[in-house]
Every structure is written in C-alpha cells, then in structure tokens.
Amino acid sequence: MFTVTGWCVRAFRVMPYSTACTTPLSNFEVSQNYKEVSDPSIIVQFKLTDEENSYVLAWTTTPWTLPSNLALCVNPELTYLQVQNKTTNTKWIVGKDRWPWICSSVKKNAEKDFTVLWEKKGAELKGIKYEPLFDFFKGKALKGAWQILTDGYVSTEAGTCIVHQAPAFGEDDNRVCLTAGIILKDGTGMVHLIDDSGCFTKEVPDFMGQHVKAADKDIKEKLKKENKLVFNGTEVHNYPHCWRSDTPLIYRAIPSWFIKVEEAREKLIANNNQTYWVPSFVKEKRFHNWLTEARDWCVSRNRYWGTPIPLWVSSDFEEVVCIGSVAELEKYAGREIKDLHRHFIDDIQIPSQKGKGMLKRVDEAKAACAAWVYGDDHGDAHGPYGHGEHGGHGGGHGGHTDGPRYKPEMMDFAGYIKEMDKDGDGLLSLEEAVSSITEIEGVAHPDDPEIVAERDRHVAQLTENFKKSDHNQDGKLTFEEALMLLKHSGGIDVFDCWFESGSMPYGSKHYPFEGKEEFEKGFPAQFIAEGLDQTRGWFYTLMVLGTHLFNKPPFQNLIVNGMVLAVTHLET
C-alpha cells in the first residue's frame, strides 16, 4: 500500500550512519543515545585563486570530512571582513561577529596584529573561487565546485561564520551544493571517500584504510605541514552514538528507502489530539513537539538478519513492485512459493510490466559490498553510490592496512579462513575461499537443509563474483577480503525493526488475511502502556503507520510510566 500511495520512496540522502553496524539509522533512533565527547576544533585556511596571499577561514569539528570539501558557505545577510596581518601581509576573510573569537583562538591579543581592509555582506562574496584543500580530486568535480556559496543556515553561534561544505557528509551541505548544481540529485559529483565501515578508500592514498575518526590526527598533521591549519583545539559537546554498538555515528549520503512523514505532520498531530494520555503533558509537549518536527522515516537497514524488504525493482529503480502476500508473489513470479526463507526468495525475478526486463529484489547492501571486495563497477568516487573501487584499501596485495578493520564478531571466522590457507602465503585461492564457506556453514549445521542451501548459494555467488574480479590478477583473495565476503555475501536491505514494532497491531492478527475481522473489531486499541522512552519509539511508529494506513490513531488511551535510574543516572 505504501508504494501504491506514494508514501514509500527511494532517495539518496544524508543519513545518520553507524560505521560499526554498517547501516543507516532513523532520526528517532539517533535521539536514543547522546554522549558528551571531546572532538577536534580546528580553523583551516582556504587559498583564493584570484588574489595573492588571500585566504578564507572555515571552522570544523570533523577534520575527516575536509578531503571531501566541494564548497564554502556564508550567510548572505551577515557581515564579513577581510583582514591583513601587518607582519606577513596574509589576508583572511572572516565573519565580523566571530572575529574576536578567532583572534583569541589564534593568539592572545592577536587583533592588534591585523588591519581591516574591507567590510562586506555575505551576498557579495558569492562566487569567489578558492583552491581545493587537497589534490585528490582537483579537476574532477562538476562545474562550480570550490567556490563560496550563500545560505541562511550559517549562523554566528560558532566557528568563523563560514562553513566548509562536504555534501557527502552533511545534510545542509548536501542541500546547498545540490541547489548550486555542484552535485546532482542522484549523487553525481559528490566526493564520497569512505567505505561502508567508515574507512578511507584508495581514492585518498594518504589516509587509506584508516577509520575516519582515527584519521583526524593525520589529517591535521598534513594541514599543519602545508601551512593550512590556523588553529587546533578541542570542542566538548553532546554527540549521537549508535544505540546498538555504542560507537559515534557519522552522517553519510546513502541510497535508502523512506516512509514519507514530513508531508503527514498535520494528520499525525490531528490523530494525536484524538487520544488520551496519562500524564497529559507527555502528549501535549514531548510527543506533540516531536510530531511537529518529524522527519521522513528511513526504514531500510543494511544488515544480515532482519525482515527483508519485499520490493522488486528495475535496475534504474523506476519500476517498483511491493509484494503483499504469497499469492501475489506467486502471481508475479509465475510459480508456486512453498517457503519464504531467503534462499527460496532472493533469486526470484519478476517480469517488468514496463519493458524494463526482469525486476530483482532490493539489494543495496550486497551491491555496496561487492564494489568494495571485488572492485565491480558499482560507481566511482563521484558516482551516485560513491563506493569507488574499494578493493585496494585493505586488499590488493601489499596494500596499506592499519590493523584489522572488520568488526569484532568477525573474529570468530578468522581461524577458519587461515586454516584454509594451505600454502601459507597469506592469500586464498578460489578453492580455498569456497572451502572456508563450506567449513564455517557446514560444520555448525551439517544436516540442516536450509543451511546447506544457503551455503550453496553463497558458494555460487562467491564463484561468480570472484571470476569477475579485476584487481586480484593472481586469482587470490586476502584474508580480509575473504572475511568481508563471508559476512556480506548474504547481506541485503532489511526493515528497520521499529517498522515491525509499529506493525504489531496488524502482524499479530495476520491482517488483512484470515484475521481481518478480528483485527477490525479491536482497532484502534482501547489502551496501551509503555515507558517514557517510547514517545520516540513504539508510540511514534504506531502513530505513523496507523495514520498512513487508516488515517486514525492506533490507540485511544495511553499510560506512560517514568524510568528508574541507577546512581549513574542510567536506566537500571
């Protein structure tokens, strides 16, 4: 229904992203886990192309995003200064309101060392060009990159009133650069230099293989050596962390599936007004305020386990078929469906009704992994997916690695893989890699037909992709490449588990099938109860799905309990 009504869409947006879990998160998941952290606080000077010894100063707490810089942004209504150092004759463009802070950051009483040359509104700075901070992509970006843009989101609250734009890693950056035509809606032109685990790719050889947070130190050192680092300090602030892995999130442009929420805010608020809450202030304040600012809901996750998203799509994503029942899948597939487990479903293809060949089930995660492991043609650093030829950053032979970059749970597989290296050269042949899969999946469940079928599918996929590999000319994989293969060869798009939580009223009654009548008698629920934390969890997802499906609240009365905290102020 969501696809038929247009409420479900695929979009390339900047999303909160967990590098530990290699998946995007929704905005309400982000709100669950903030921690106070100390991050870098640096001021960097960008050299103007048309004026000798002149620079623009920008501030950031994410040095790792600087290699992806494509523009600078000022507020058209704010006032800016060009100041000149009396000793070196170096000229800086800075925000007037932040000039005292900049001076105090750079050097005590530094203001007396400078002369103000001019004072202009930000609108007058639009179009001024500057040199790329790094050489990695000089001459490769779309027309219009590396110039000053204007937008009202730039404020006087922090920094220099000049914001560096990395559209692959910032929501406002993405919007501003998209409006300016520096990037396109499908991601073309975007400089996206990290893999799914948050490590720099071979497109950035200086930092290749390093996790973005770990790379901050080396990036600052490089800027310092090149006389581009004006100030180096720290900033203590609250920062979102992954609620599963407890690791810092990043923001990353990634193709995902969304349920539209922003267009339904008024309906959500109206339906909330029909409910009765105890205590009432949670409904009237906390939940109401959340609904007024609700964002489109990212419902796709790149995980191995979970409920697969039942969408079959054309290669250009122009045609989308959402399957709502076994009977519907049988009709489209033209065959009987006896089992809904993945190894029976994943390879089903549906004939296009629009002349687009065969539709396949959505598989973003596996395509991303294939680009990383095999160097397949799934987009380059400037393409719509931005994965690049990732095989070189931890693989290739003799490539740079900064210690194992796989997640801790992968370590269980490492022993098996090394045992398959019969000749001891640290590399796996196709036969050895296949044996590792057979060993891992066969030993644990030697007689389970589903596991055997899944293993055979993995082996077939490995064999096909391995033969297409263009960066392992000697026909071998590194341990790390084999390890990543094992963890991701079955990875697909699955539902955000909160979607399933919000679907509880329907799924528990098997609506709209044999439980349809029973469901309709009991919907909406007369009463539900949960903790305060569910205002951005279960209560919210119930309301979104109930509003979209029936335009009514899914419950009539609700009791919200508080939380008991330990002496550490954490939940017990």
Task: Convert the pLDDT of each residue in 509-538 to its tens digit.
Answer: 889 988 898 999 889 999 999 998 898 889
Question: How big, in percent rounded to 5, are the helix, strand and coil portions of the chain?
Answer: 35, 25, 40
Give residue 464's pLDDT. Answer: 63
Tell me the CA distances in angstroms from 264 to 4, 105, 175, 543, 567, one per residue in order: 16, 45, 22, 11, 41
Indicate the SS3 state at residue 312: strand
Determine if the peptide bond prior to 63 is cis (ω within 30°).
no
Task: Tell me the pLDDT tens digit for each residue of 353-365.
Answer: 888 888 888 864 3
Q: pLDDT band for 422, please (50, 70, 90 cuts).
A: low
CATH of 34-240, one of 3.20.20.110, 3.40.50.10190, 3.90.740.10, 3.30.450.20: 3.90.740.10
Q: Greater confidence, 540 or 440? A: 540
β-bridge partners, 33: none
Give residue 347's pLDDT. Answer: 78
Instruction: Let me know: does 55 contact 88? Beta carbons within 8 Å.
Output: no
Instruction: Let me know: does 452 contact 517? Beta carbons within 8 Å.
Output: no
Instruction: Let me know: does 42 contact 231? Beta carbons within 8 Å.
Output: yes
Instruction: Let me know: does 449 contact 425? Beta carbons within 8 Å.
Output: no
DSSP per-residue string spanning 318-381? --EEE--SHHHHHHHHTS-----SHHHHTT--EE-SSS--EEEE--HHHHHHHHHHH--SS--T
Q: pLDDT band for 189, please (50, 70, 90 cuts).
A: confident
Task: Indicate the helix (H) or strand (E) that contains 177.
Answer: helix 171-180
Q: Distance between CA 14 and CA 22 in Å, rounded? A: 14
Instruction: Let me know: does 67 contact 164? Beta carbons within 8 Å.
Output: no
Lowest mean pLDDT among 147-151, 414-418, 542-546: 414-418
Average pLDDT over all residues of the chain: 78
Alpha helices, DSSP H only, in 107-155? none
Tell how far CA 489 is from the center of its chain. Answer: 20
* Mean pLDDT, rounded, for 126-150: 85
Q: Distance between CA 554 and CA 148 in Å, rounded? A: 49
Residue 177 has pLDDT above 80, yes or no: yes
Task: Tell me the pLDDT tens digit for each residue of 312-334.
Answer: 888 888 888 888 888 999 998 88
- 245, two tokens: 């892995």
- 337, two tokens: 């469906």
Give residue 209's pLDDT. Answer: 84
In this structure, the number of other CB atoms found within 10 A of the CB of residue 547 comes to 23
Q: pLDDT band for 435, please (50, 70, 90 cuts).
A: low
Residue 66 has pLDDT above 90, yes or no: yes
Task: Tell me the pLDDT tens digit for each residue of 211-246.
Answer: 899 999 999 999 999 999 999 999 898 999 988 888
Where exactly are the structural domains of the chain?
A: 34-240, 262-293+503-572, 364-494
Give residue 117's pLDDT. Answer: 93
**What ranges make up the beta strands (E) of 445-513?**
476-478, 492-495
Give residue 426's pLDDT. Answer: 59
